[in-house]
Copies of this chain bind each other. A is one copy, B any other.
């Protein structure tokens, strides 16, 4: 996968930004936003490209503006655990060691708002509300991480898949509105690596759910025919 990074001339305005309301920048007022605009640079990545890698020195932070990314960690022997999928509005790259602690690559075309670390750090410096916002996002992610630990450690394959479908749908609600048709831009392998399963088990579980009339497997996603049943399967 050869990098085909495109850097647009930075004529975008934050005020027009699609993720203005949900992203870190939601904590900025009009004046700050003007200054903030000069800090970030829109960058495009095409499908499969890596935005940053685990252990890389952190030189930038990223605000995902458009598209989907997979965030993952690799073991030396190639086993992979996807620790999350990023959606528009997600803020990536915060760490305390100066190095990224997971890798991130694009699933389909992606647009990010990239901030160089130092100027961004300076901008935050004395802006309590922005730091608060970042803190809030971190805590929110921490909760998600803990929920996911429960899923990985204590749930069966069926429960994992059901919980994944519901969780993913839920995340899409705030972006595209509620729908029982759930697009799944990521591959079966991605789903497997997110749920701590194999690709075969994910595939089999999907077909099982379909045979039971609970979902329908459609091109590029699934359709929830019986959301209540899926919720029952996901247990809790």
Contact = CB atoms under 8 A, between A and B. Distances in A.
Interface of A: 73, 75-77, 79-81, 83, 94-97, 101-102, 126, 128, 131-132, 134-136, 138-143, 145-150, 152-155, 193, 195-196, 235-236
B142 A77 contact: no
A153 B126 CA distance: 40
A146 B146 contact: no
Contacts of A101: 143, 146
Contacts of A141: 142
Contacts of A97: 143
Nearest to A75: B236
9 contacts: A73-B146, A79-B154, A81-B153, A83-B149, A94-B139, A126-B128, A131-B131, A142-B145, A153-B195
A96 B146 CA distance: 14
A100 to B, nearest CB: 10
Closest 6 pairs between A and B when the two form their complex, measured CB to CB: A153-B196, A145-B145, A152-B152, A75-B236, A81-B150, A138-B138
- Could you say which of A80, A95, A97, A146 has the most chain B C-beta atoms within 10 Å of its C-beta? A146
Given A134-B135, A153-B196, 13 more contacts: A73-B146, A75-B155, A77-B235, A79-B154, A81-B154, A96-B143, A102-B146, A128-B128, A131-B132, A142-B142, A148-B149, A149-B149, A153-B193
